[in-house]
Amino acid sequence: MRILVVEDEEVLAEAVVEALRQESHAVDRACDGAEADELAAVNTYDLIILDWTIPPPSGIDLLRTWRRAGRETPVLMLTGRSGVHDRVDGLDTGADDYLTKPFSLVELRARVRSLLRRGVRPLQDLLQADDLEMDRSARRVTVAGAALDLSPKELALLEYLLLNRDRVVSRGEIAEHVWDDSFDPLSNVIDVTVHRLRRKIDGDRAERLLHTLKGIGYVLRSRRA
């Protein structure tokens, strides 16, 4: 999943970004409202974590603008405001959840999982293809019951391929949904990650789950197809 973190406090922002990347999410970060608005206009996010008091436009003003424009991306509002009226204002403006500073990163991750489950693209806990299974809540993958050791990026790539099972996805689509804004389109990192993932999920089997369509993209489909 791709997430935008909008937070101007450097230490907090770095901690949040790292916590989300450990969950295999692709994460972009904006330091102010103007940068956040630009990123949200050109990228598709599954969730936005938005601080209330960022440099202008403020988080609450930005959220109001997005909702009036019809943007439905789930938003988790971060704020030092703990009053009931502040929470009500945030929720009435269009926030899907509200987290008061200081907060635990464990709680943040739990709220992120909850929002993704009921977001624009609801989170299915279990994804499958033949004997390959992914438990998205536990971040666990098995093949024929045996657990696989996947890197965070391999896990994120497999998740995206399973969500698009039987559909060919291009390198551009993978870059947009699995990598963040630091991705270099001239690098071969996607091909390398696909190769490593294929070795782990297909092994020496003659019939493969993960296929490369040269010059087109990649597809995950049943070995019986």
Helix axes 105-117, 10-22, angle to 10 degrees: 60
Nearest to 5 by CA among 94, 118, 35: 35
Q: Is the pLDDT of residue 83 over 80?
A: no
* Residue 121 banded pLDDT, cuts 50, 70, 90: low
- Structural domains for the chain: 2-117 (3.40.50.2300), 126-220 (1.10.10.10)
pTM comes to 0.75
Distance CA 74, CA 71 (A): 9
Distance CA 8, CA 111 (A): 21
Q: Are 109 and 200 in contact (CB under 8 A)?
A: no
Distance CA 6, CA 10 (A): 11
Mean pLDDT of 146-166: 95
Got the DSSP string for 167-205? S-B-HHHHHHHHS-TT--TTS-HHHHHHHHHHHHHHTT-
Amino acid identity of 59? G
Distance CA 95, CA 117 (A): 16
Q: Is the pLDDT of residue 206 over 90?
A: no
Distance CA 5, CA 162 (A): 25
Between these two residues, 136 and 40, which has the higher pLDDT value?
40
Q: What pLDDT sits at residue 123? A: 57
Mean pLDDT of the chain: 92
Q: Are 135 and 126 in contact (CB under 8 A)?
A: yes
Distance CA 158, CA 150 (A): 9
Q: What pLDDT sits at residue 217? A: 95
Mean pLDDT of 56-73: 95
Q: What pLDDT sits at residue 181? A: 84
DSSP H helical ranges for the chain:
10-22, 33-42, 59-68, 84-93, 105-117, 152-163, 171-178, 189-202
